[in-house]
Structure 1
Amino acid sequence: MKISKYISLIYIGSLLVNCSGTSKIPEGDFLYTGHKILIEKGTTAKSKVKKIESELNDLIRPIPNKSFLGFRPGIFFYNLAGEVKKDKGFKYWLKYKVGEAPVLMSAVNLDYNKDVVQNYIENRGFFNAATKADSISKGKKATATYEIKLQNQYKIKSIEYPKDSTVLSKEITLARKNSVLKIGKPYNLDVIKTERSRIDAKLKERGFYYFNEDYLLVQVDSTVAKHEVALILKIKKEIPAKAAIQYKINDVYVYPSFNLKRDTVANRKQDSIKLENFTVIDNNTVFKPIIFDKSLLFKKGELYNRTTHNLSLNRLITLGTFKFVNNEFKVNDRFKDQLDAYYYLTPLPKKSIQVEALAKTNTANYSGTELNINWSNRNTFKGAELLSISAFSGLEVQVSGQNNGFNVYRFGGEANLVWPRFISPVRMNSGSAYVPNTKATIGYEYQLRTKLYSLKTFNSSFGYSWKENERKEHNLNVVNIAYTSSNNVSDLYLSQIAASPSLQSIIDKQLIFGTNYSYTYTNTMLKNKKNNIYFKGSLDFSGNALSLLLGANDSSDPKTVFGVPFSQYTKAEFEFRHYYNFNSETKIASRIIVGAGLPYGNSNNLPFIKQFFIGGTSSIRAFRARSIGPGSFNGNAVTNSFLPDQSGDLKLEFSTELRTQIYSFVKGAVFVDAGNIWLRNKSVEKPGAEISSQFLNQLAVGTGVGLRFDFSFLVLRTDLAFPLRTPYETNGKNWVVDKIDFTDRSWRKENLIFNLAIGYPF
């Protein structure tokens, strides 16, 4: 027994040594474990010292191997793979994709890093600072140390701008109004570079097309006072003559069917259409001039402006019609202070067909596949209109849950026509870099829920979408029509209606005729921010116009269109997400959703497809899809055959999730979800479902952990969750924390919920 213990200890010790990464370090070398920065701050504030230390950490190279609790799994797998003779296969993948080579102390250039540190602190105004570099070794590991003595930081005493009478100097002096250089602030080379870039950007807005920020020189005089500097901004003496000229726009030429491989400007036939602000050179007359009238924002005789330049390019690109968009400016042959603009546009193939197979999940906890066939015409009426016609079919199944076996089969089609401009009797314009769209849609879907019923849905809409910028987007459907009817209703479903009459609303004929609008704001595309946010607000109105026309005001005697009562309601939903980024690998993501629907006039209830649901793979993950609520009502106790979708008029949902990278493409998460839905009024069928002042005491709460496998083209998500609190009472109370018992098989069966999904929940 003792011998086996010793053998086990020896094995564990050997494993620890291998995992630590030092077992195969060459003789005379060391495993580089990182660096330490020791700053003698002097009079420098503690917060500033911390910032300097943080920024220096990002500059020092090389980066040591990743470690976890003292272990370095990357080196372990690198060594485990041994010699690899091929550039593919399992051993290659294990060694170079999973594993990582040990970073050796011999690869650390202390003198180079010392110069990097010294240069950095001098550029922050510590002109008298001193830096020392050394290393400390222990066993087979070594650490680099950098000692810094900061001394005093120099501050800006005065700033001088060009004083001569040239147009260029005057424009530079005018640009000083919003300068980032401030008297009394510490000297900082990065701020000086930012100021040069800012002035250059301002000049580009004022016609100086050929100017470059490198033509600006900032002289630093450190003799003006003790620990202070004078900054003198100058234009370099030898700059190109073009750089000092303020240009205006002369002629604009557009080549809308230009072939990069075949064409040159010289060999193009000069069949042209001349308009007020531009000339279209297009011997095939493939595109109508209205495209360019809406996209090109330059006007003849105005100063060249970089913003207008970029807006025009972005609009041409976002048309979705051109594969390549190239642009150049040339000085006019007669007027040396004027520019001619040329746009060379290579169209995408006019017609295309695409077949795609998808794996998908939805909010009802169903997973499945879908086959799509899409045909598109990118220039339907020669105005860059996009006509797309698609057909689809799919199968959805519930991997786990009470609805397992009640599969969903879907097929249908949709036609969309998108105009890259506003189509409206009222003049509408957008000055952003994104082309506004007008969209008309008509579609049909047949959905069969096996053992239950089938639904047929016709929908059509007409509306607009436009973006103010990359962060703000608007969508307005002026007309939105949906008609739903059912057939093939099974005896099983009819028997459930007898017990739960509200299920009848799912198969009733429904007609929605209304308007909806949504606004989205996000800055999640900015990767280096500590805080990212996402907000989407939507409003949905239905039946108001028909109500005025038909005089509908009594839900007990509703007015009909073609024999179908139309829905009248107002619905609002708001979603806010916040992402706090600790670093590139770890963040806290939070989300809150608030929604409310109000039926009135011709309707007593919201249409089923417009009601709120909660629970499932992208909602409260500790509960089955759409199984929570409404209120304290327990739908699980009502039926044994299948779990009907519980719906409500009001919704409150909150989630927060800590996400971090575990290794390579594997990411982990710990999360907490909470929320519920409610009815506006009391329901005999669903006691406790109505909203009240005690709504916070009816929240469902769940927690869990998950893994995300990020394959770049696909994120596969697995979550394992369990409830902490039920909205209904269990054994006289809502909190069920004291019932948690992972060793109890029956508890696991009843409470552990496994979620398999594609993509992040939010």
Structure 2
Amino acid sequence: MKLHLKYILISTFILGSFYSCSIAKFIPEEERLYTGANLIIESDSLIKNEDRLRLELETVISPEPNSKILGMYPGLYYYFKNQKEHPGFINKWLYKKFGEQPVYQSDVSAFDVEELLLNRLENRGFFYSKAASKFEEEEQKASVAYTVNVPTPYRMETYQLDSLPPPIHQEIERLVATTPFTKGMRFDLSSMKLERLRIDTNLKSKGYYNFDDSFLLFEADTNRYDNKSFDLFLKLKKAVPKKSTVPYRIANVNIYPNYETADSITTTSIRYNEKNFIQKEVFFKPKYLDPFVRLEEGELYNPETSRNTARRLSTIGAYKFVNIQYKEIDSLATDTLGLLDANIYLSPLNKRAFMAELQVVTKSNSFTGPALALTYSNRNVFGGGELYNTTLKIGYEAQVGGEKNLGDSSLELGLKNEIIFPRVIFPIKINDDFFKYSIPKTKISVSIDYLDRTKLYTLLSGTALFGYAWDANRYVTHQINPISVSYTDLRNSSPEFEAILSENPFLKRSFEQQFISGLTYSFIYNELVDVQKTHQKYLNFTLDVAGNSISLFGKSEENGGPKTFVGLEYAQYAKADVDLRYHFNFGKEQTIAARVFAGYGLAYGNSDVVPFVKQYYAGGPYSIRAFRIRSLGPGTYNVNEDTNNTSDNYFDKTGNIRLEANLEYRFPIVSFFKGAVFADAGNIWNSKENPVFDGKDKFSSSFISELGMGAGVGLRVDIQSFVIRFDLAAPFHDPSLPKGERFNFDVSKPILNFAIGYPF
């Protein structure tokens, strides 16, 4: 109670500071507080896009006045309070967060602002404009009014190219013919700068290696007109070097696959596909490295091709630095053509690496525990940029909260071997030109996992994967696994677990189909990579289809039961997920993040139910954070109402339909500490009624009233994109409760979520 009263007193003090204390007594007698400026635009004709002109003019008006909130100056107040001899800890902290130094009338240089206003108007074609300023003074405050008289602007009649030396004249002439300039457009300096950049970019793509947009000069001639019209001429500045006006071709492409030793040890050059591969010994086989290099001998210099080559080489994963340098060959230059050597220096990463990762896992209903992952990596295994990884994982989990149940601890062991080829491995050769942005990677992995749930069962599972992943462009990624095989073997089932399965036929069937063979595909559109973008969008569509091809070889059992393949009952299903996200970034490190997820799994053919490992669950740090993992749903089911169910309910909390929506406001606190306020809603359902749940789990048109909803606050430690996250949440709509009692924001028993990384 004392602590609560202390916070009330502090809050009252702060609010009282805003409302009862005035800053007027702190302002020196010889000064007036500057309260801002007003811009008045007077014109003798209609100004097109006047609002945009006003915005540009207002950008040069300075200084900015002190910020106000509801007519008060909190930033100024804490500045003045901090000037005391003993300001106190709270005032120091508040000044650091909100304080502002006062801006006085004497800080305003109106004459300089007038000059800047006239400069901006002339850049926009409003020549012979006038600007004036007048201070409006009160007892302790002052503002300024700027008035600009804007005459009729100058407009373009023709756009012409002046005489230039060949061969650059012909190239620029073609570009001038496609200009965005139109007759009657207003004189605009910013548009001319954009035109220079457009021409420069196009010339660079045509081989003009030494050209620069600063060589171009615009001149406006008004002598022929009396009505504020002008002819615009484009020309080159004087003394532009001759080599800047000729294109360059690439004479030699020299590649150094192991550059760290190539510059100090005797090397040999291998000629392959019109390129020189220079290395002491074969570090990276030329036939595998060549497809990543888009530069070709005899082609014109093009910076876009150079950037594309650098990006493709960086994606191999074997190099820490990719450096492309061009060297002019002066001895072979002519009057109309220059020659370049393209030198590609590749500095490899360490061939072998070892990484240990300690994790804290929160994985099931009230379960948490440590996990240790040890990874050994070997790069460039076969001399073609291949990456081999082997990972050993050891994890232990125990139930640390909630009611104790059977299987309240588990031990997990896993071993995964993976090899990634930076190229397409396919029976039929695929032309690399089809993948212009990046070359697909072929991934092959085999893993085995052992899970021991105390007093319940032991699960031994193996997985084999063969697939491809590639970037179609900066934002789009494709991942397809045409071969995805997994096998699970349920062993050492205890009588208690057998009782769980006998009570729930759906659950039993989901464990019986041990063999899964199918295809998975993911399409990812990710704008979150552009951290400076205000509006960011993200889409992840995943399709998982199993059992179709293998059903062609399936063998029917004599008793009419499910088909088998090599003696194993196999699963047949289709599953599709859609994950949509939107981030709105504003202010200083402030973000509103939204997410919608929808998923549906359909069992058919050889299956009555989607396998347990492929079913959905809800709740937890990456889902509905007001509910523990797997504790929400399905539908309105409440295990506490089922008096006949005496077994572990952890397995019941899955379904083949999942819907979720999340909304979060993220903001900085201090240093690398970030805060969040969020709300989540969602649930899981079954498309076919499970008799164990008395129909409460079936998806229906009333699904909105069956959503689990919660809200909370979060603290994140964000150190260079490594995020440790704590989210505290409580439900305000619990679908497992009877109708009329579901809305209740119970903050007395919140759920604390611990996770690595942002939830979405």
* Higher mean C-alpha displacement, 276-285 vs 101-110: 101-110
2:485 aligns with one of 474, 481, 498: 481
User: Identity over the aligned pairs, expressed in percent?
Assistant: 31
Alignment RMSD (CA, Å): 4.3
Provide the C-alpha distance between the structure 1 equivalents of 2:66 and 2:400, rounded to a whole number of angstroms.
40
Provide the C-alpha distance between the structure 2 equivalents of 1:481 and 1:78, rounded to a whole number of angstroms.
70
In structure 1, the residue matched to 2:17 is 16
Conserved in 1, the CA contact under 8 Å of 2:424 and 2:439? Answer: no
Conserved in 2, the CA contact under 8 Å of 1:175 and 1:199? Answer: yes
Provide the C-alpha distance between the structure 1 equivalents of 2:364 and 2:126, rounded to a whole number of angstroms.
57
Secondary structure at 2:309's aligned position in 1?
Answer: helix
Conserved in 1, the CA contact under 8 Å of 2:639 and 2:649? Answer: no
* Higher mean C-alpha displacement, 467-476 vs 642-651: 642-651
Provide the C-alpha distance between the structure 2 equivalents of 1:368 and 1:144, rounded to a whole number of angstroms.
65
Provide the C-alpha distance between the structure 1 equivalents of 2:613 and 2:515, rounded to a whole number of angstroms.
11
The letter for the 2-side match of 1:677 is: I
TM-score, structure 1 normalization: 0.83
Deviations 1:13-35 (A, max 9, x none): 89717998969979579798874
Provide the C-alpha distance between the structure 2 equivalents of 1:301 and 1:555, rounded to a whole number of angstroms.
72
Provide the C-alpha distance between the structure 1 equivalents of 2:650 and 2:528, rounded to a whole number of angstroms.
37
> What count of residue pairs does the alignment treat as equivalent?
736
Give the direction of change, closer, same or farther, for the CA distance of 1:174–1:504 in structure 2 (3 Å limit): same
Q: Tell me, yes or no, if structure 1 residue 683 matches structure 2 residue 690.
A: yes
* Higher mean C-alpha displacement, 569-578 vs 677-686: 677-686
Shift of 1:345: 1.8
In structure 1, the residue matched to 2:757 is 759
1:461 aligns with one of 454, 465, 468: 465
1:539 aligns with one of 543, 561, 570: 543
Q: Tell me, yes or no, if structure 1 residue 300 matches structure 2 residue 300.
A: no
Shift of 1:178: 5.2
In structure 1, the residue matched to 2:189 is 189
1:273 aligns with one of 267, 270, 273: 270
* Higher mean C-alpha displacement, 68-77 vs 602-611: 68-77
In structure 1, the residue matched to 2:716 is 709
Matches within 5 A, 1:651-730: 651-661=658-668, 665=672, 667-689=674-696, 694-713=701-720, 714-727=722-735, 730=738
Give the direction of change, closer, same or farther, for the CA distance of 1:600–1:282 in structure 2 (3 Å limit): same
Matches within 5 A, 1:486-525: 486-487=490-491, 489-490=493-494, 492-504=496-508, 508=512, 510-525=514-529
Provide the C-alpha distance between the structure 2 equivalents of 1:660 and 1:110, rounded to a whole number of angstroms.
37
In structure 2, the residue matched to 1:203 is 203
Provide the C-alpha distance between the structure 2 equivalents of 1:91 and 1:624, rounded to a whole number of angstroms.
38
Give the direction of change, closer, same or farther, for the CA distance of 1:217–1:225 in structure 2 (3 Å limit): same
Give the direction of change, closer, same or farther, for the CA distance of 1:164–1:212 in structure 2 (3 Å limit): closer
In structure 1, the residue matched to 2:441 is 437
Shift of 1:521: 0.9
Shift of 1:410: 3.2
Give the direction of change, closer, same or farther, for the CA distance of 1:328–1:229 in structure 2 (3 Å limit): same
Conserved in 2, the CA contact under 8 Å of 1:366 and 1:398? Answer: yes
Conserved in 2, the CA contact under 8 Å of 1:19 and 1:72? Answer: no
Provide the C-alpha distance between the structure 2 equivalents of 1:720 and 1:11, rounded to a whole number of angstroms.
27
The letter for the 2-side match of 1:648 is: G
Provide the C-alpha distance between the structure 2 equivalents of 1:389 and 1:575, rounded to a whole number of angstroms.
30
In structure 2, the residue matched to 1:316 is 313
Matches within 5 A, 1:306-345: 306-332=303-329, 333-336=331-334, 337=337, 338-345=339-346
Provide the C-alpha distance between the structure 1 equivalents of 2:716 and 2:468, rounded to a whole number of angstroms.
37
Give the direction of change, closer, same or farther, for the CA distance of 1:509–1:94 in structure 2 (3 Å limit): farther
Q: Tell me, yes or no, if structure 1 residue 418 matches structure 2 residue 402.
A: no
TM-score, structure 2 normalization: 0.83
Give the direction of change, closer, same or farther, for the CA distance of 1:688–1:280 in structure 2 (3 Å limit): same
Deviations 1:674-730 (A, max 9, x none): 333332222212233565651444441524242343533443444444445444562
Conserved in 1, the CA contact under 8 Å of 2:82 and 2:95? Answer: no
Conserved in 2, the CA contact under 8 Å of 1:613 and 1:645? Answer: no
The letter for the 2-side match of 1:324 is: F
Shift of 1:633: 3.3
Conserved in 2, the CA contact under 8 Å of 1:356 and 1:372? Answer: yes
Shift of 1:505: 5.1
Conserved in 2, the CA contact under 8 Å of 1:698 and 1:728? Answer: no
In structure 2, the residue matched to 1:4 is none
Conserved in 1, the CA contact under 8 Å of 2:416 and 2:446? Answer: yes
Provide the C-alpha distance between the structure 1 equivalents of 2:714 and 2:20, rounded to a whole number of angstroms.
23
Secondary structure at 2:344's aligned position in 1?
Answer: strand
* Higher mean C-alpha displacement, 513-522 vs 128-137: 128-137
In structure 1, the residue matched to 2:3 is none
Provide the C-alpha distance between the structure 2 equivalents of 1:44 and 1:403, rounded to a whole number of angstroms.
82
Provide the C-alpha distance between the structure 2 equivalents of 1:718 and 1:19, rounded to a whole number of angstroms.
38
* Higher mean C-alpha displacement, 132-141 vs 372-381: 132-141
Conserved in 2, the CA contact under 8 Å of 1:533 and 1:579? Answer: yes
* Higher mean C-alpha displacement, 446-455 vs 15-24: 15-24
Give the direction of change, closer, same or farther, for the CA distance of 1:754–1:235 in structure 2 (3 Å limit): same
In structure 1, the residue matched to 2:657 is 650
The letter for the 2-side match of 1:521 is: Y
Secondary structure at 1:711's aligned position in 2?
Answer: strand
* Higher mean C-alpha displacement, 490-499 vs 513-522: 490-499
Provide the C-alpha distance between the structure 2 equivalents of 1:601 and 1:401, rounded to a whole number of angstroms.
40
Provide the C-alpha distance between the structure 2 equivalents of 1:301 and 1:733, rounded to a whole number of angstroms.
78
Shift of 1:753: 4.3
Give the direction of change, closer, same or farther, for the CA distance of 1:692–1:626 in structure 2 (3 Å limit): closer
Shift of 1:527: 4.4
The letter for the 1-side match of 2:595 is: R
Secondary structure at 1:280's aligned position in 2?
Answer: strand
Conserved in 2, the CA contact under 8 Å of 1:718 and 1:756? Answer: yes
Provide the C-alpha distance between the structure 1 equivalents of 2:59 and 2:458, rounded to a whole number of angstroms.
59
Provide the C-alpha distance between the structure 2 equivalents of 1:78 and 1:456, rounded to a whole number of angstroms.
69
Provide the C-alpha distance between the structure 1 equivalents of 2:76 and 2:757, rounded to a whole number of angstroms.
27
Provide the C-alpha distance between the structure 1 equivalents of 2:185 and 2:399, rounded to a whole number of angstroms.
62
Secondary structure at 1:455's aligned position in 2?
Answer: strand
Give the direction of change, closer, same or farther, for the CA distance of 1:278–1:691 in structure 2 (3 Å limit): same
Secondary structure at 1:387's aligned position in 2?
Answer: strand
Shift of 1:483: 1.9
Conserved in 2, the CA contact under 8 Å of 1:98 and 1:664? Answer: no
Shift of 1:155: 4.7
Secondary structure at 2:436's aligned position in 1?
Answer: coil
Matches within 5 A, 1:599-614: 599-614=603-618
Deviations 1:617-660 (A, max 9, x none): 32233433333333343345345755445222222222333444
Deviations 1:293-345 (A, max 9, x none): 11111222222222211111111222222222222222333354332211122
1:286 aligns with one of 271, 280, 283: 283
Deviations 1:423-464 (A, max 9, x none): 111222254343421111122233344564443332221111
Give the direction of change, closer, same or farther, for the CA distance of 1:351–1:237 in structure 2 (3 Å limit): same
Shift of 1:255: 1.7
Give the direction of change, closer, same or farther, for the CA distance of 1:280–1:38 in structure 2 (3 Å limit): same
The letter for the 1-side match of 2:465 is: S
In structure 1, the residue matched to 2:633 is 629
Deviations 1:469-491 (A, max 9, x none): 21111111121122223345455
Shift of 1:291: 3.3
Conserved in 2, the CA contact under 8 Å of 1:472 and 1:520? Answer: yes
The letter for the 2-side match of 1:707 is: G
The letter for the 2-side match of 1:296 is: V
Give the direction of change, closer, same or farther, for the CA distance of 1:472–1:55 in structure 2 (3 Å limit): farther
Provide the C-alpha distance between the structure 1 equivalents of 2:504 and 2:266, rounded to a whole number of angstroms.
74
